[in-house]
Each structure stands twice: as structure tokens, then as C-alpha cells.
């Protein structure tokens, strides 16, 4: 069986990290299989990692230092958000994860995050595609 659902997220800041694990678990309608979690927006990301505040702050710090304000980016001539797009190159727009007993089969410390890189935005769409039984 293949099913699709979507999740909408609105953000209030330029950079935000949202733990969407429980929202995804609430939408899973297969017992066992896999789920693809895909953000339909380039200046955003879907990642799996530990939900620890220091680590999440470190991620923002690292991205800000890798993609610095001290440079002039060509894409800014179009819509002034080159940094957001460049940061998204370093992350991923999707994750494919196992589902077991109707829930994400994650490790003890793992969570699924939506990362906003160009907010604030309303109605960011995350597509969930489930394959299983």
C-alpha cells in the first residue's frame, strides 16, 4: 500500500528548528514499511538528529559561520536570500525512515526536524509518502 499525506508548518523567524516527530507519528497510516519525509521548499531542510538544545544552537552557529555575511552572493541580486539557499545545499530536503508498529522506528535519541532557513513563512508543506502494510 502507498499513501500520501501532508503536514503544514508556519514559522516566525528566519531560522527555526521544529521537532516534527510526534506530528509525523500521528499521520502514519501503515503498520510496517518506510516513510519518505520531503520538504517542498528549497530554503528549508528535513534532518534526523538528537533534540538537545545545545546541539540545535550549535547547528545554527555552524551554518551561520559556514555561510557568512562577509561575502557578496550572486543569488542575492535576484531575491536577497542566497544564504538560505546555500545553507540548504549543506542539509537535506528529505529523509526516508523505517516504520514499525505504526510509528517511526527511530533510535533512542533521534528526532525528525523541519529546519526553516528563510522565514518567517506560513504554510510550509511537508509531504509524507508511506509504503508498507
d(CA 105, CA 99): 5
Confidence of residue 112 (pLDDT cuts 50, 70, 90): very high
- If you ran DSSP here, which 8-state letter would residue 69 be given? T
Per-residue pLDDT tens digits for 31-56: 999 999 999 998 999 999 999 999 99
The reported pLDDT for the residue numbered 101 is: 98
Whose cell is 521537532? That residue is 19
The reported pLDDT for the residue numbered 70 is: 86
Phi, psi of 62 (to 5 degrees): -60, -50
Q: pTM of the entire structure?
A: 0.94
d(CA 7, CA 126): 5
Per-residue pLDDT tens digits for 45-94: 999 999 999 999 999 999 999 998 888 889 989 988 999 999 999 999 99
Distance separating the N- and C-terminal Cα atoms of the chain: 6
Q: Give the chain's domains with CATH numbers.
A: 2-132 (2.60.120.460)
Amino acid at each position: 500500500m502507498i499513501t500520501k499525506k501532508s503536514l503544514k508548518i508556519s514559522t516566525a523567524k528566519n531560522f527555526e528548528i521544529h521537532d516534527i516527530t510526534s506530528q509525523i507519528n500521528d499521520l502514519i497510516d501503515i503498520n510496517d514499511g518506510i516513510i519518505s519525509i520531503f520538504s517542498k521548499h528549497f530554503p528549508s531542510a528535513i534532518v534526523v538528529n538528537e533534540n538537545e538544545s545545545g546541539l540545535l544552537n550549535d547547528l545554527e552557529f555552524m551554518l551561520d559561520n559556514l555561510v557568512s555575511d562577509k561575502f557578496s552572493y550572486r543569488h542575492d541580486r535576484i531575491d536577497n536570500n542566497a544564504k538560505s539557499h546555500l545553507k540548504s545545499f549543506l542539509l537535506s530536503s528529505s529523509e526516508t525512515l523505517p516504520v514499525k508498529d505504526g510509528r517511526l522506528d527511530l533510535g533512542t535519541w533521534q528526532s525528525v526536524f523541519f529546519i526553516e532557513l528563510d522565514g518567517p513563512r506560513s504554510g510550509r508543506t511537508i509531504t509524507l509518502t508511506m509504503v508498507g502494510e
